[in-house]
């Protein structure tokens, strides 16, 4: 299986994932697994749980020791850091001007930002972002778990322009 996966073409897009005030270490551990799967890096900002942490290591299956990450105390500074790397910062959040994640055109460098489990992306960080994408919800629930929303949107970013020819 590892040989099969290594043979798959890697998308050209560069992805950073910014966790802004994500408190639950389970969500953070899951983000490390998602980042590893997509060869992305993480920015853990604000009150986001950070390694070393038993739950992050357990849920992330140790990926916190191999995925590039950095901690930034201020969420707005974290957005500015991503922008300074050349990333277009997109919050995964429902806003007045958010576009559906699957109908968004993504540049070569993208930073997806998710927020707190109850309060979402902090308003100051949202104001500093370049835009927002949302995941349409068709049932009675209004949202997904943070790590699930991150996975759905992150895989879309990495494969948005894929064609049958790109997929081997």
**CATH no. for residue 149?**
3.40.1280.10
Number of domains into which the chain is organized: 1
Burial class (CB in 10 A: 0-12, 13-18, 19+), 25: buried
For 23-66, the pLDDT digits (tens) are 999 999 999 999 999 999 999 999 999 999 999 999 999 999 99
Is residue 162 very low, low, confident or very high in pLDDT (cuts 50, 70, 90)? low
Whether 163 shows a pLDDT value over 80: the answer reads no
Higher-pLDDT residue of 167, 8: 8
In terms of phi and psi (left: phi > 0; alpha: psi -120 to 50; beta: otherwise), the region of 72 is beta
Higher-pLDDT residue of 6, 126: 126
Assigned domain for 80 exists: yes
For 66-95, the pLDDT digits (tens) are 999 999 999 999 999 999 999 999 999 999
Assigned domain for 132 exists: yes
Is residue 2 very low, low, confident or very high in pLDDT (cuts 50, 70, 90)? confident
Provide the pLDDT for residue 3.
80
Q: Which residue has the tokens 């277009």?
A: 88
Range of the domain at 56: 15-159
Higher-pLDDT residue of 2, 11: 11
Assigned domain for 26 exists: yes
Assigned domain for 111 exists: yes
Average pLDDT, integer, range 115-136? 97
Assigned domain for 168 exists: no
Assigned domain for 8 exists: no
Assigned domain for 9 exists: no
Assigned domain for 136 exists: yes
Whether 166 shows a pLDDT value over 50: the answer reads no
For 9-20, the pLDDT digits (tens) are 778 899 999 999
């Amino acid at each position: 299986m590892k040989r099969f996966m290594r043979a798959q073409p890697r998308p050209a897009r560069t992805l950073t994932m910014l966790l802004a005030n994500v408190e639950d270490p389970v969500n953070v551990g899951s983000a490390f697994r998602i980042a590893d799967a997509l060869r992305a890096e993480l920015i853990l900002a604000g009150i986001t749980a950070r390694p070393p942490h038993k739950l992050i290591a357990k849920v992330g299956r140790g990926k916190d020791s191999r995925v590039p990450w950095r901690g930034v105390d201020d969420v707005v500074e974290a957005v500015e850091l991503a922008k300074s790397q050349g990333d277009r910062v997109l919050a995964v959040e429902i806003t007045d001007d958010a576009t559906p994640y699957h109908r968004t055109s993504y540049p070569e460098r993208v930073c997806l930002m998710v927020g707190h489990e109850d309060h979402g992306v902090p308003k100051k960080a949202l104001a500093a972002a370049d835009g927002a994408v949302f995941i349409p919800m068709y049932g009675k629930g209004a949202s997904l778990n943070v790590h699930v929303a991150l996975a759905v949107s992150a895989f879309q970013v990495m494969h948005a322009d894929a064609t049958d020819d790109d997929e081997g």
